[in-house]
A and B are shown apart, each in its own frame.
Chain A
Amino acid sequence: MSTRKSKKPASHNAEDYLRMYRQMVRIRTFEDHANQLYLSAKMPGLTHMYSGEEAVAVGICEALKVTDKITSTHRGHGHCVAKGANFKEMFCELLGKEEGYCRGKGGSMHIADQSNGNLGANAIVGGSMGIATGAAFTAKLLGNDDVTVCFFGDGATAQGLMYEVMNMAALWQLPVIYACENNGYSEYTRTDEIAAGSITARAEAFGIEAHKVDGQDVLAVNSLTAQLVERCRKGEGPFFMELETYRYHGHHVGDINREYYRSKDEEKDWRDNKDPIVSFARHLTKEGIATEDELEAMQAEIKADADAAVAYALEAKYPDASEVDMHVHAA
């Protein structure tokens, strides 16, 4: 049995760890509520669930400061929560309400939270890679030390834009980290059917240092990101990370019958044996950072928050009709 005395982390680490746990649970809880809104036909349109990939967004965003930027994807709720967004404005956006982050004009696939450095989700696969690289260009031109993380999936590695902007980022040593969330599926197709060769070799071809990391291990993700962010701030960027992870749901919430492209056994294996929240909870209790009761209380508190935010969003106002042609052009 561990005596804990040599393993007990410093208190600031304990706080960091609990915050990471909290943020992962917040993402899972948010997604469970969003899925319920879809299943009960209370949400317009579709949405893409991040459940299962929480350690990626949280491990990365916990290594960033507020003014650091991220670009997100169609599977973007996790990035948005991890970068500091509130449930209330997020649920309002998902329901197309006036108090949403984008006044209901973006929805799930375009949610952006500029106040926390989230430049927005993007519904074009790979479409935000130029934007992320451009945000890093701004940091270099204006001489600030902001770092940008570009989240994208394995499917986006098939887009040509990625190679164009990685080339320029490497030529100009831009402070950008390309974070490839490899969840094994490009929509409804296995990644090994759409990607020849290795993912990390794509970045290495441009002389970009590339790392492969277990995307279910929040501490591994966080510690690698923290190192790369510090090196980016010193002008040593860009970097590339491939994070091996898994999406529990289908491509979107309506993708229910998916045995034609992946087995239930495979899904069960990831849920039962590689869940990032369960394994981190085990770590926290084992290290004496929190008791199971404390973690359960935290989960209950987060669920209550989400329940309240959903109830609020359901009752919230839709934008006035006069807003339909507002914000086409900026003043």
Chain B
Amino acid sequence: MREITLSQAVNEALAEEMRRDATVFIIGEDVAEAGTPFKVLSGLVEEFGTSRVVDTPIAEPGFMGIAVGAAMTGTRPVVDLMFGDFLFLVMDQLCNQAAKTHYMSGGKLTVPLVLRTNLGATRRSAAQHSQSLHALVAHIPGLKVALPSSAYEAKGLMKTAIRDNNPVVIFEDKLMYQEKAPVPEEEYLIPFGKANIKREGTDITLIGTSSMVQVAEKAAEILASENISAEVIDPRTIVPLDEATLIASVKKTSRAIVIDEGHQSYGVTSEIASRLNEKAFYHLDAPVVRMGAMDVPVPFSPALEDLTVPTPESVAAMARKLVGGELIHAA
């Protein structure tokens, strides 16, 4: 199968959906001729014109609000939010308006929009361009949240997001934009709420999201060489969450680590770990462990930044302890 980058995969997904549906348009900063700073959208304005690939001023709440109104009246906007950190700027329009409109109108109004943004540290971009803020939006009822973990995932999830009748926030991993993966030429969609079992195992379940799926897979490799069999699962979407697949896996392995690049406290790892504790408690041989980003603003210095996120080695070390029956976090 051919291999393309995550950037190319997203670009293809957008182009295919824009050809299929004339109401789909892209709006954001430097999305047209510039094709975004990451060059994800290069070539789209040439095909679809400036009426559907719309460059805006640097005014995130403004173009987010315009997208909400456009979505309510018969179009399918794809909002390009250059950095996930800028989510804080659009919170009212995203969380008070887009997320609640369908519910508040008793089901009469819909807001079929996609907010494309990104996450991921270790790019030496410091505290305001490195955050992974998906837990914030996953907390708000009415939004859906997708976390692609490869080029293949990014294309299939983007196409599903565009066809969904709800506001969907997709976080791409900035470090993956130039990373290649096999992506079929033929059209495919990836359904929301269906986790992907990336690797089967029997001793421990490693649940990873987005950038942390690869970390979990590498950890599983390390563990395999030590005769520890790890199962790796990518939930793909955290809203909706495929709880059943996660619970079934933990019932089989009796141990789990949840790995995510958002801050650990009050985050995605906490939510998934709680559900496993509530629903698979009597099958567990060890506490479900959370491994998120450290609860610090992302530091600039590489010497510090690399300490803040889980790595294959740190995940493998934790798995070793759990499988070995060591007391974790003993007081």
A190 to B119, CA, bound (A): 44
- Which of B23, B74, B110 interacts with A330 by CB under 8 Å? B110
A330 to B103, CA, bound (A): 9
Q: Mark interface residues in A314-331 (1 if CB within 8 Å of B CB, else 0).
A: 000000000000111111
User: Within 8 Å CB of B141, what residues of A?
Assistant: 328
Distance in angstroms from A97 CB to nearest chain B CB is 11
Contact B73 A69 (CB under 8 A): yes
A128 to B73, CA, bound (A): 14
Q: Mark interface residues in B60-98 (1 if CB within 8 Å of A CB, else 0).
A: 011111111111111101000000000000001100110
- Which of A129, A135, A330 interacts with B107 by CB under 8 Å? A330
Q: Mark interface residues in A89-121 (1 if CB within 8 Å of B CB, else 0).
A: 000000000001111111000101010000110
Q: Quick check: is A228 within 8 A (CB to CB) of the other chain?
A: no
Question: Which B residues, 101 to 151, have Cβ-Cβ distances below 8 Å to chain A?
Answer: 101-110, 112, 141-142, 144
Q: Which residue of B lies closest to A137 (CB)?
A: B70
Q: Which residue of B lies closest to A109 (CB)?
A: B104
Q: Quick check: is B56 within 8 A (CB to CB) of the other chain?
A: yes
Q: Quick check: is B59 within 8 A (CB to CB) of the other chain?
A: yes
Question: Which B residues, 1 to 48, have Cβ-Cβ distances below 8 Å to chain A?
Answer: 23, 25
User: Within 8 Å CB of B66, what residues of A?
Assistant: 130, 133-134, 137, 165, 168
Distance in angstroms from A185 CB to nearest chain B CB is 23
Contact B69 A120 (CB under 8 A): no
Q: A127-B96, A133-B66, A141-B70 are in contact. Are A106 and B51 (CB under 8 A)?
A: no
Please give the number of chain A residues whose Cβ is less than 8 angstroms from any Cβ of chain B in the complex: 46
A291 to B57, CA, bound (A): 55
User: Within 8 Å CB of B68, what residues of A?
Assistant: 130-131, 134
- Which of A71, A112, A130, A131 interacts with B104 by CB under 8 Å? A112
User: Within 8 Å CB of A122, what residues of B?
Assistant: 97
User: Within 8 Å CB of B64, what residues of A?
Assistant: 130
Q: Which residue of B lies closest to A164 (CB)?
A: B62
Contact B69 A110 (CB under 8 A): no
Q: Which residue of B lies closest to A123 (CB)?
A: B96
Interface size for chain B: under 10, 10 to 19, 20 to 34, or 35 or more residues?
A: 35 or more
User: Within 8 Å CB of A136, what residues of B?
Assistant: 69
Q: Which residue of B lies closest to A102 (CB)?
A: B106
Contact A141 B25 (CB under 8 A): yes
Contact A165 B65 (CB under 8 A): yes
User: Within 8 Å CB of A171, what residues of B?
Assistant: 57
Q: Quick check: is B255 within 8 A (CB to CB) of the other chain?
A: no
Contact A328 B103 (CB under 8 A): yes
Contact A168 B57 (CB under 8 A): yes
User: Within 8 Å CB of A119, what residues of B?
Assistant: 69, 72-73, 109
A329 to B106, CA, bound (A): 11
Listed in ascending order, the chain B residues whose CB lies under 8 Å from chain A are 23, 25, 51-52, 56-57, 59, 61-75, 77, 92-93, 96-97, 101-110, 112, 141-142, 144, 165-166
Given contacts A130-B97, A327-B102, A329-B144, 19 further A-B contacts (CB under 8 A): A105-B103, A105-B104, A119-B72, A124-B92, A130-B61, A130-B66, A130-B93, A132-B69, A133-B66, A133-B69, A134-B70, A136-B69, A138-B70, A141-B52, A142-B23, A142-B74, A165-B59, A168-B63, A330-B166
